[in-house]
Amino acid sequence: MIRYFTACFPARALVAALLKLLVAGATLSSPLAAQELETERWRTPMRVDRTTMPTDLLVEFSFERLETPLVDYDPGENAENATMSEFALSLVSGDIDNALALTADHPGATREESRQLLEAFSEMFSSVPEAVRLERTIHLGRERLLLWSLPMENGERFYRSFRFMRQDTSEDSPIQYEGAISEPFSSLLTYAFQIDQANGPDTRDPDEFEYDYVLPATEEEPVRFLFNGQTLDVDAYNPGGETGIPVVDTYTQAMSALANGTAEDYAALFTDFSQSRYADWAVEQGTEAYEAFRSDMLQLGARIVFVMDADPLYLIYHTPTDLAVSGSPLRYSSVYRDPDDGFLLSNFYVHGLADTFLQRREYFEEPFLRPLLAEANIMESPAETVGLVASSGESELPDPDEMLAVWDSNNSNPSEELPTDVEAIVSNETPWFWIFGGLLLLALIAYRLFVKRQ
């Protein structure tokens, strides 16, 4: 049985369905409809230590299939596609002024920052104009995501996208490129194509998934998350015996090792990478500091309230047993289902694009998880939040390895080699647009080295 959650209220799923029918009817009757919308579902990529894997957290969306070289694309009478293709062709021709005219203004970014970003893209596009292929126009509520790709030497594609926003809230508002403002979901969806291109869309029946959650601000043309999970109310340090849920029992066993064993006992329940990282970290802390950390963890407590099944990764959501904490009490820990060794804790001091998305309260916790837990009488629901989530937020910079700045043409996965000091690269003192521009130029260099030139 599928449970529907749209924004903060499960009952709004009916409204969303009616809106979808109305939008579909308007689309079919509109002269701007270049072709019929299709729907597909992709597996969301998540980090497991230093590897990114497709998972059973599915994202479903509507799109127009393009799959046409940019230089040959004819948008017809579709005004939105015409704007997006004009923008991309401006990058090919080096007409930065025109591309900038099609770019949104934001209080948090200057036009010069947007210009520098466009110049970096233009250098890439103009070097291989015939190789740029438009893949899809993805509908994200009222926004659009233009997915494009470049060919690679190993036969795969190098996927990226441009996100286009509405200028205002009016029904016929034109679209503009987002420019110097971005949000994590678009990057996450684009990365799904990169990581899982060998398998393509997921073909399972949506009825196989318990939860059907609509991303906030996409109700007009919904973007949905499909996944399985379970609400719980288990004290991780004192579970009172096995729960009968293997992944949860693994986590409570680990918490018992943290409470009663040594650092080595606890580390032994992690994946090899995280085990080594945790053991090294514990040694660096010294005995006194580590015992203080352990004491703080025990005092804070951990009450397991929800498990997300994003196989092979499972997210164990928990709150402190002492709720007198600042900010949101909800956190999650990652447990990986290793094909050989079973369930193991993972991702010690590891952060990926999916974490950026899930840890932003307005995307998942406030509209979905807190109301779900309130319905189950596990914790109170927050007050309803107002605003278009999909258009908010400062620029999000992916991990350097997830930007695919270095690509091994003989491997289907991005290089897992990280800079020695990631924190220095993304420090708050460094203007973000220089960071992004630098990574983009690295991507261009990698492309010239490894990608087929046409």
Which residues are registered as beta bridge partners of 235? Answer: 303
Please list the alpha-helical segments (H only) found in 367-431: 370-375, 422-425
> Six-digit token pair at 426?
């993304």
The reported pLDDT for the residue numbered 109 is 76
- CA dist., res. 86 & res. 102, Å (int): 9
Rg of the chain, C-alpha, whole Å: 23
Q: What is the mean pLDDT of residues 31-38?
A: 63
Burial of 72 (C-beta count, 10 Å sphere; 0-12/13-18/19+):
exposed
Share of the chain above pLDDT 90, in %: 67
- CA dist., res. 20 & res. 141, Å (int): 10
Name which of 62, 190, 65 is nearest 134 in CA terms.
65
CA-to-CA dists, residue 382 to 211, 236, 264, 350, 361, angstroms: 20, 24, 39, 28, 11
The reported pLDDT for the residue numbered 424 is 28
Span 316-326, pLDDT tens digits? 999 998 665 55
Name which of 324, 308, 323 is nearest 357 in CA terms.
308
Global pTM reads 0.78
| Topology (CATH) of 236-359 | Nuclear Transport Factor 2; Chain: A, (3.10.450)
CA-to-CA dists, residue 138 to 85, 104, 223, 394, 398, angstroms: 14, 19, 10, 22, 21
Would you give the distance in Å from CA 150 to the centre of its chain? Answer: 21
The reported pLDDT for the residue numbered 20 is 41
Greatest Cα-to-Cα distance within the chain, rounded to the nearest angstrom: 71
Span 383-421, pLDDT tens digits? 444 333 333 333 333 333 333 332 233 333 333 332 322
The domain segmentation of the chain, as residue ranges, is 3-227+390-450, 236-359
Span 290-314, pLDDT tens digits? 999 999 999 999 999 999 999 999 9
Whether residue 92 contacts residue 156, with contact meaning beta carbons closer than 8 Å, is answered with: no
Q: What is the mean pLDDT of residues 430-448?
A: 43
Q: Is 186 helix (H, G, I), strand (E, B) or coil?
A: helix
Which amino acid, 272?
D
Higher pLDDT, 415 or 93: 93
- Min mean pLDDT across 79-83, 128-132, 170-174 is at 170-174
Span 220-271, pLDDT tens digits? 999 999 999 999 999 999 998 889 999 999 999 999 999 999 999 999 999 9
- CA dist., res. 319 & res. 304, Å (int): 7
At how many degrees (to 10) do helices 111-127 and 79-93 cross?
Answer: 80
- CA dist., res. 123 & res. 137, Å (int): 23
Name which of 102, 78, 77 is nearest 88 in CA terms.
102
Supply the DSSP string of 338-356, one letter for each residue.
ETTTEEEEE-TT---HHHH
CA atoms within 13 A on the CB side of 115: 8
- Min mean pLDDT across 3-12, 113-122, 198-207 is at 3-12
The reported pLDDT for the residue numbered 199 is 96
Span 153-210, pLDDT tens digits? 999 999 999 999 998 888 788 999 998 777 889 999 999 999 999 999 999 999 999 9
Banded model confidence at residue 379, pLDDT cuts 50, 70, 90: confident
